[in-house]
Amino acid sequence: MIGLGVSIDAVISYFRGVSTNGFPTLVILLLLGFGAIMLSLGIIGVYIAQIYDEIKGRPQYIIGKKIE
């Protein structure tokens, strides 16, 4: 989200003629690229956490009393 906001600001400053050459491209590539990497790492982390919970082999609930 921050990368998108800064990218929009960099593009606007580029069209105004305020920024230096190549700076908006560098900002857009770095912030959006690292943002995508962090998002994908978060998704992978959630997936691994679900695998870890499944591997533990514990029941999803605890049986208080068994009726025979």
Is a pLDDT exceeding 90 seen at residue 41?
yes
Number of folded domains that form the chain: 1
Query: Could you tell me if residue 22 is inside a domain?
Result: yes
Note the pLDDT of residue 54: 84
Query: Could you tell me if residue 60 is inside a domain?
Result: no
Query: Could you tell me if residue 35 is inside a domain?
Result: yes
Query: Could you tell me if residue 46 is inside a domain?
Result: yes
Among 23, 2, 21, residue whose Cα is nearest residue 10? 23
Query: Could you tell me if residue 17 is inside a domain?
Result: yes
Among 54, 53, 51, 8, residue whose Cα is nearest residue 31? 8
CA atoms within 13 A on the CB side of 27: 19
Q: What is the average per-residue pLDDT within 39-60?
A: 89
More confident residue, 6 or 37: 37
pLDDT range class, residue 66, cuts 50, 70, 90: confident
Q: What is the average per-residue pLDDT within 47-58?
A: 87
